[in-house]
Amino acid sequence: MPEKKIPETKNKASAPIYDCLVVGAGISGLTAADHLQRSGWNVAVLDKARGAGGRMATRRKKVNPDWANPVWANPVWDHGAQYMTVRTPVAQALLDQWRANMPEPDYGQLQDWYNLAPSQDQHSVRWIGTRGMTTLPKYLAASLTTFFETRIVNIGLQSFSRAFLWELTADDGRQFRGQNIVLTMPVPQAVVLIEASQETLKDLGSAFNTTAFESMKSIQYDPCLAVLAELSSPSNIPPPGFVEFRDSPETANAPLAFLGDNYQKGISSAYTVTLHGSPEWSKAYFDAAETEITHQLIQAAAPWLDISQHNLSQVISTQLMRWRYSQVSKKNASTSFPEGFCTLSDEPGLLLAGDGFGGPRIEAAILSGLSAAKALTSTNKIPAIKV
Ligand SMILES: Cc1cc2nc3c(=O)[nH]c(=O)nc-3n(C[C@H](O)[C@H](O)[C@H](O)COP(=O)(O)OP(=O)(O)OC[C@H]3O[C@@H](n4cnc5c(N)ncnc54)[C@H](O)[C@@H]3O)c2cc1C
């Protein structure tokens, strides 16, 4: 069993050596860290953002703490993933375990938004968080050692007691040491980080899996332009609160892919809607001006927002979110990595996990993080080094 956590100090010589450093507090990184910690590993999770969730993202506009008073309603938007579906027994078991342990008053809960929409013929529970899609990530992060606002810019290697030790450097110079690393950011971002660290990774010699690294480079993501709008009255979006525009050759270049009503979903006490641009349209307009993007998406959604081309008075405010990496687009990503994650080095462990290795869904990201963590615990590699 590893030793208990050693508090971090500024003195590098006495700074803790983690059994594993997980980069990314999205759902894959949190699932991996949760499993490792439950297996007795000493883990730290590092994320460049201010909080947990990654693409399970919820935005809140603080207006008034009096949630019950609709005049002072608090606008909330799920602006990344909208819901989670679970199709495998492994993910279902994890979900059941998390739900059973989630103390509602502190973190919120997971609940089903709907399981059969009028336009659909397949029953499948769409899980959402009662406090938005960040509900689950926030709950998982709360019991882990986390370092937010920590953007990792370099992976280094130290030779230590006849073994290698990873040393991750953040953009403000802070360093974190660990015996294994799991990187969980979108794959193109991981490729940039690894390429920036090539000089040090050369020290691994043939232990670095160049073939896997080259395969990773073909994993691509669709962008998604998202507009978050606040309305003065309810939207025309039919119950249960969404309109999905099916992907077809005729609609590929149409602006809208999805319209979600956060008020009907039950996460916002104000009338807010989330508008997601389609992959092709988002690609074409990714660098366009905010006013242009917002105008086009709002106009495309006009019938559901109860507005006309010349009367936008129902729209109180808008914000734009540009997701450069939203959902994995390369269909063969999972066939290149049948284990659902990627091992770039066995000893010391350098693994990659996330939806890039499993498919464009939260469930795939969960399974990827879990598989990577199980691969580490099964080799029982900890802890060679303790200071
Ligand atoms: C608009 C949109 C709609 C979607 N809709 C759905 C849906 O309805 N249902 C569904 O199942 N899935 C949906 N998805 C996909 C789903 O959100 C993802 O598959 C899943 O959340 C990916 O989780 P992850 O942990 O692999 O990656 P992420 O959530 O991206 O987590 C990676 C983390 O790494 C951090 N990071 C990146 N670089 C660094 C660095 N250098 N240093 C430190 N930290 C770093 C990031 O801040 C981030 O928190 C959607 C995604 C988007 C964007």
Q: How far is the CA of 199 from the centre of ligand 1 (A)?
A: 28
Q: What one-letter code names the amino acid at 311? A: N
Pocket flag, ligand 1, residue 226 (CB < 6 Å) = yes
Range of the structural domain that residue 122 is part of: 58-139+221-328
Q: Is residue 106 part of a domain?
A: yes
pLDDT at 189: 98
pLDDT at 66: 57
Q: How far is the CA of 326 from the centre of ligand 1 (A)?
A: 7
Low-confidence ranges of the chain (pLDDT < 50): 1-10, 332, 384-387
pLDDT at 221: 96
pLDDT at 252: 66
Q: How far is the CA of 9 from the centre of ligand 1 (A)?
A: 30
Please indicate, yes or no, whether the overall pTM of this predicted structure exceeds 0.85.
yes
- Nearest CA residue ID for atom 35, ligand 1: 24
Q: Tell me, yes or no, whether 300 and 164 share the same domain.
A: no
Cα(26)–Cα(53) distance, integer angstroms: 4
User: N- to C-terminal Cα distance for the chain?
Assistant: 15
Query: Strand pairing of 43-46 and 221-231?
Result: unpaired
Pocket flag, ligand 1, residue 157 (CB < 6 Å) = no
- Nearest CA residue ID for atom 21, ligand 1: 55
**Secondary structure letter of residue 80 according to DSSP:** S
Q: Tell me, yes or no, whether 295 and 307 share the same domain.
A: yes
- Nearest CA residue ID for atom 37, ligand 1: 185
Phi, psi values for residue 163, rounded to 5°:
-135, 165
Closest to 277 measured CA to CA, from 307, 248, 303, 254 = 254
pLDDT at 202: 85
Q: Tell me, yes or no, whether 323 and 180 share the same domain.
A: no
Q: Which atom of ligand 1 is nearest to the CA of 25?
A: 49
**Secondary structure letter of residue 3 according to DSSP:** P
Cα(256)–Cα(281) distance, integer angstroms: 8
Q: Tell me, yes or no, whether 252 and 266 share the same domain.
A: yes
Q: Tell me, yes or no, whether 101 and 206 share the same domain.
A: no
Q: How far is the CA of 371 from the centre of ligand 1 (A)?
A: 17
Q: How many helices (H) and strands (E) does the chain have?
A: 13, 19
**DSSP per-residue letters across 240-254:** TTEEE----TTTTTS
Pocket flag, ligand 1, residue 54 (CB < 6 Å) = yes
Q: Tell me, yes or no, whether 362 and 322 share the same domain.
A: no
- Determine the 3-state secondary structure of 333 from DSSP: helix
Domains: count for the chain: 2
Q: Is residue 384 part of a domain?
A: no
Q: Is residue 3 part of a domain?
A: no
Q: Is residue 364 part of a domain?
A: yes
Give me the CATH number covering residue 280.
3.90.660.10
- Nearest CA residue ID for atom 5, ligand 1: 81
Q: Tell me, yes or no, whether 346 and 306 share the same domain.
A: no
Q: How far is CA 154 from the centre of its chain?
A: 21
What count of other Cβ atoms lies within 10 Å of the Cβ of residue 246?
Answer: 8
Cα(234)–Cα(232) distance, integer angstroms: 7
Instruction: Name 377's Cβ contacts closer than 8 Å, sequence gap at least 6.
Output: 35, 36, 39, 41
Q: Tell me, yes or no, whether 116 and 191 share the same domain.
A: no
Q: Tell me, yes or no, whether 190 and 118 share the same domain.
A: no
Pocket flag, ligand 1, residue 237 (CB < 6 Å) = no
Q: Is residue 386 part of a domain?
A: no
**Secondary structure letter of residue 310 according to DSSP:** T
Pocket flag, ligand 1, residue 47 (CB < 6 Å) = yes
Q: Is residue 385 part of a domain?
A: no
Q: What one-letter code names the amino acid at 187? A: V
Q: Which atom of ligand 1 is nearest to the CA of 328?
A: 19
pLDDT at 10: 45
Cα(7)–Cα(44) distance, integer angstroms: 11
Q: How far is CA 289 from the centre of its chain?
A: 26
Q: Tell me, yes or no, whether 248 and 131 share the same domain.
A: yes
Q: Tell me, yes or no, whether 204 and 133 share the same domain.
A: no
> Is the peptide bond preceding residue 137 cis, with omega within 30 degrees of 0?
no
Cα(49)–Cα(242) distance, integer angstroms: 28
Give the CA distances from residue 224 to residues 55, 83, 279, 322, 329, in Å, rounded to whole numbers and listed in that order.
Answer: 11, 16, 6, 6, 12
Q: Is residue 201 part of a domain?
A: yes
Phi, psi values for residue 376, rounded to 5°:
-70, -50
H-helix or E-strand spanning residue 377: helix 362-379
Phi, psi values for residue 112, rounded to 5°:
-85, 135
Which residue bears the tokens 């009255």? 233
pLDDT at 183: 98
Give me the CATH number covering residue 19.
3.50.50.60
Q: Tell me, yes or no, whether 230 and 310 share the same domain.
A: yes
Instruction: Name 95's Cβ contacts closer than 8 Å, sequence gap at least 6.
Output: 86, 110, 127
Q: Is residue 285 part of a domain?
A: yes
121-157 as b/e: b if 16+ CB within 10 A:
eeeebbbbbebbbbbbbbbbbeebbbbeebebeebbb
- Nearest CA residue ID for atom 49, ligand 1: 54
Q: What angle do CA 170, 59, 22 make, to 5 degrees?
A: 30
**DSSP per-residue letters across 163-223:** EEEEEEEETTS-EEEESEEEE-S-HHHHHHHHHHTHHHHGGGGGGS-HHHHHHHTT--EEE
pLDDT at 2: 39
**Secondary structure letter of residue 324 according to DSSP:** E
Q: How far is the CA of 123 from the centre of ligand 1 (A)?
A: 25
